[in-house]
Amino acid sequence: MPNIDSEHILDLLALSMVSGLGPVRVGRLLDRFTTASGVFEASPAEIERVEGIGPKTARAIGRERKKALGRAREEMRQAEEIGATVLCRDDPRFPGLLRPLPGCPHVLFVRGGFDDRDRFAVGIVGSRRCTGYGLEQATRFAGAFASAGITVVSGGARGIDSAAHRGALNVGGRTIVVLGCGLGHCYPPENLAMFDHIVESGGAVVSELPCDTPPAPENFPARNRLISGLSLGVLVVEAGLKSGALITAGVAAEEHGRDVFALPGRVDSAASEGVHGLIKSGGALLVTEPADIIGALEAPAWHLFQGTHESRYTLGGGVSPGTAGGGLEDRPVPGGEAGRAVLVACTEPSTPDQIGLATGLDASAVRQAVTLLEIGGFLKRSGSKLVRSR
């Protein structure tokens, strides 16, 4: 892993700003050249050999380097001005649930910060135009999760999102806001005081977008992916047929291998049509109590649920989730047969593609197993590769 210094962050931020590059292509470039500076120093001919990088993009990387570095420096300045931290993917403070996922952003802007408790987080999503029932249930579930030491993740929007954040705050719990705009904006504006309170109480407000990016419809699918990526499971409280919450649920289940839960509403309520569709299609597990979700997630997050109630929900004494409960040899491997196969494949540092070839698992199964093994402390990252913890 490279040293996490300002030049490393600056280069990575600049690379992320080059036209035609997104998280997936940036990831492929880093797999090939190791660092962002290595990408910038490579010739267009070398860059073209990377999958998905055509001649036009290869030339743009070299041509836009100076401009991108200038923009990156301005972003660093703006972030500092608003009290935000710029975290790159190989920073140990970067959220562990998000890091192994495909399309994971390589840079996050964060007001506040992450901590080990965020390894057990639940996303709560739903409609902006919700009913009183939806607000009540979002507040109830979030309050129960936060009381149990579970981080509540949502999108900071009006309606269900805001109710989820307030439910966590009401009991002195931890919550993370994921914005569909840069941290230099507040959307919706009436939530400014709540966002400040979240940061002051130890939570976080997060975006993968440059600080001066205004809220826009095209930003919200990426925001929804980030909510899913930061969560071990996602609860849909209330959503109509066209709600963006259904996008979050789809990404969680199909791309991130997360559990999706749905709270039923009135059978004649348009506000719950999307939720009921998820349940009927088998896309989500019907739940009626917070305990339903906590119980369902205990197995994949068993390492956080050890001993007494107090020790289950507060990791005291400097013991991190990845080391709770003894050495690796004393603990069952999460993920069943797939987890054990991936662990064997990672005796030597391996990329996800190499793990798939060695185990015969498809990409989704590899991602799910890797996530559980990283959370449990069985695997660690070495650059773009994974290796068994010793």
- Adjacent-strand bridge partners of 379: 388
Q: Give the chain's mean pLDDT.
A: 87
In a domain, 77, yes or no: no
Convert the pLDDT of each residue in 123-175 to its tens digit. 999 999 999 999 999 999 999 899 888 999 999 999 999 999 999 999 999 99
In a domain, 153, yes or no: yes
Q: Are residues 131 and 21 in the same domain?
A: no
Q: Are residues 144 and 286 in the same domain?
A: yes
**Predicted pLDDT at 363:** 82
Residue 180 burial by CB count (10 A; 0-12/13-18/19+): exposed, middle or buried?
buried
Percent of the chain with pLDDT over 70: 89
Name the residue with higher pLDDT: 6 or 125.
125
In a domain, 132, yes or no: yes
CA 140 distance to own-chain centroid: 23
Q: Which residue from 23, 31, 21 is spatially nearest to 54, judged by alpha carbons?
A: 21
Q: Are residues 118 and 267 in the same domain?
A: yes
**Above 50 in pLDDT, residue 318?**
no
Convert the pLDDT of each residue in 15-39 to its tens digit. 998 888 889 999 999 999 999 999 9
In a domain, 249, yes or no: yes
pTM metric for this prediction:
0.76
- Please tell me the distance from the alpha carbon of residue 228 to that of residue 252, in angstroms, as a whole number: 5
Question: How many CA atoms within 13 Å lie on the side-chain side of 248?
Answer: 36
The most confident of 23-27, 204-208, 292-296, 349-353, by mean pLDDT: 204-208
Q: Are residues 126 and 230 in the same domain?
A: yes
Domain that holds residue 349: 326-388
Whether residue 339 contacts residue 369, with contact meaning beta carbons closer than 8 Å, is answered with yes
DSSP string of 105-152, one letter each residue: -SEEEEEE---GGGGSEEEEE--SS--HHHHHHHHHHHHHHHHTTPEE
The H or E element that residue 335 is part of is none
**Predicted pLDDT at 175:** 98
